[in-house]
């Protein structure tokens, strides 16, 4: 009996076998186990890929949105007067040269220093960044953060602090924060600490714990006085058009600076994290692929049992004229259908999980009493997840491929079954 591959009668027979009860020689329980296993495996794979992608995107965006893509600094050297110099004197001219480099969006001179902050009888170590208002407004996550209190336009009247500092020191808008620097005034008796109080005019939250809990921004002119940097700056913060290709700007930036300057990129600062994330991506995908493979192996068990239970039917179909190819396609449809349905269900479940991940984790956090997601250890305030079409396609393709491949072997076994042997004892 010759027929086109995957004819209507082959689908009809396969569908009948799939929904046959155990008393009729079916394996409905194994079918459901296989389907649920594949569904959960695909769901887990999509969820892991989405969280992995979201974590990388969120972390990279936070790094690039609140930090320089490139820093131009000056390693310490001894000048003609025998003094150790680490600063830039004619910084306005150098800033113009750096900003003129093709692809540079921003070249901001800054003063940096670590000090002790105190308020309301509480203390915290903070890092002070002295910048001009116009330059600070070009930092995406500072100009438009997740949460802000006050207006950045008032920056020249005080300081801007992270929400973590405000929470630790119990500060709100209009309060005063006292900064204590050990490198203060030079007196005949030595160096005395410099203690200044500033009004809090802007509170920001960029969504990254180590920034929100340590950053204080101060007007550049005030920072120069506070840190004894009159007329000089410590380094330049540079933003470029293509931060992922930041290394390509290094040569021109070095030429625009001077021979005593050095370049430090955001990849140099965060290279360990990026390499760890890349390795984790590869390892997690392999592990989750093994999980999908294990779930797909249940199809083999179910099909082998189905072939054994339907030996009589196979013999009858063969004597009626069905070819080995038709028998193979019937059982291939049985196994592949389980894989397709399980994959579709897993994709839907995984996509819904990623879309509603925030309410789900809020509920889990509520039920468990809190502490499921601690930003102090994970550096991000929210659980990141980003659903990308390519990740869904990869998960779908992997699941379907494995389901089709593992189905071939029991289907071939059914096709090669000798009808005489199948009907001998019937």
List pLDDT tens digits, range 317-343. Answer: 666 667 767 777 777 888 888 888 899
What is the distance between the alpha carbons of residues 74 and 86, in angstroms, rounded to a whole number?
5
Q: Which residue has the tokens 């502490």?
A: 371
Provide the angle, in degrees to the nearest 10, between the axes of the packed helices 266-309 and 28-66: 170
202 three-state secondary structure: strand
Q: Are 279 and 285 in contact (CB under 8 A)?
A: no
Per-residue confidence band for 6, with pLDDT thresholds at 50, 70 and 90: low
pLDDT at 312 over 70: no
Cα-Cα end-to-end distance for the chain: 23
pLDDT at 155 over 90: yes
Comparing C-alpha atoms, which of 403, 202, 413, 411 is closest to residue 296? 403
Comparing C-alpha atoms, which of 204, 14, 259 is closest to residue 5? 14
What is the distance between the alpha carbons of residues 250 and 264, in angstroms, rounded to a whole number?
9
Q: Are 423 and 312 in contact (CB under 8 A)?
A: yes
CA dihedral 225, 230, 231, 232 (to 10 degrees): -90
pLDDT at 314 over 90: no
Strands 215-219 and 122-131: parallel
Residue 103 Ramachandran class (φ > 0 left, ψ -120 to 50 alpha, else beta): left
Domains of the chain by residue range: 8-61+273-423, 75-260
What is the percent of the chain where pLDDT is above 90? 26
Instruction: Give pLDDT, residue 1.
Output: 47
Per-residue confidence band for 114, with pLDDT thresholds at 50, 70 and 90: very high
Which tens digit of pLDDT belongs to each residue from 358-374? 788 777 777 776 665 65
What is the distance between the alpha carbons of residues 175 and 120, in angstroms, rounded to a whole number?
10
Tokens encoding 407: 């189905």
pLDDT at 115 over 60: yes
Instruction: Give pLDDT, residue 188.
Output: 64
Instruction: Give pLDDT, residue 24.
Output: 47
pLDDT at 386 over 50: yes
Q: What is the pTM of this model?
A: 0.63
Q: Are 379 and 210 in contact (CB under 8 A)?
A: yes
pLDDT at 376 over 60: no
């Amino acid at each position: 009996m010759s027929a086109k591959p995957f004819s209507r009668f082959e689908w009809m027979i396969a569908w009948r076998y799939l929904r046959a009860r155990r008393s009729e020689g079916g394996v409905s329980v194994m079918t459901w186990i296989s389907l649920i296993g594949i569904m959960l495996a695909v769901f887990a794979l999509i969820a892991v890929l989405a969280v992995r992608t979201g974590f990388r995107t969120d972390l990279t965006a936070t790094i690039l949105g609140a930090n320089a893509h490139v820093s131009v600094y000056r390693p310490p050297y001894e000048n003609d007067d025998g003094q150790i110099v680490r600063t830039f004197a004619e910084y306005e001219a150098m800033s113009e040269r750096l900003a003129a480099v093709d692809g540079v969006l921003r070249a901001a001179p800054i003063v940096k220093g670590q000090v002790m902050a105190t308020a309301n009888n509480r203390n915290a170590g903070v890092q002070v960044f002295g910048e001009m208002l116009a330059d600070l407004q070009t930092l995406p996550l500072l100009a438009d953060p997740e949460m802000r209190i006050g207006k950045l336009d008032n920056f020249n009247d005080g300081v801007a602090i992270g929400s973590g500092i405000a929470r630790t020191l119990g500060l709100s808008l209009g309060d005063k924060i006292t900064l204590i620097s050990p490198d203060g005034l030079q007196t005949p008796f030595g160096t005395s600490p410099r203690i200044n109080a500033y009004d809090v005019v802007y509170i920001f939250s960029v969504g990254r714990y180590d920034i929100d809990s340590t950053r204080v921004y101060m007007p550049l002119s005030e920072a120069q006085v506070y840190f004894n940097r009159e007329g000089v700056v410590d380094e330049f913060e540079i933003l470029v058009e293509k931060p992922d290709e930041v290394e390509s700007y290094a040569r021109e930036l070095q030429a625009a600076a001077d021979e005593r300057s050095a370049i430090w990129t955001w990849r140099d600062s965060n290279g360990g994290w990026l390499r760890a994330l890349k390795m984790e991506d590869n390892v997690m995908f392999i592990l989750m692929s093994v999980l999908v493979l294990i779930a797909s192996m249940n199809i083999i068990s179910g099909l082998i049992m189905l072939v054994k239970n339907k030996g009589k039917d196979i013999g009858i179909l063969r004597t009626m004229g069905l070819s080995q190819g038709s028998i193979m396609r019937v059982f291939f449809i049985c196994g592949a259908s389980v894989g397709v349905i399980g994959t579709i269900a897993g994709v839907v479940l995984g996509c819904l999980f990623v879309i509603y991940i925030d309410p789900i984790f809020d509920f889990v956090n509520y039920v468990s009493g809190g502490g499921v997601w601690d930003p102090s250890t994970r550096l991000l305030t929210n659980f990141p997840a980003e659903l990308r079409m390519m990740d869904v396609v990869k998960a779908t393709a992997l699941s379907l491929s494995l389901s089709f491949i593992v189905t071939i072997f029991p289907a071939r076994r059914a096709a090669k079954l000798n009808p005489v042997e199948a009907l001998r004892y019937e």
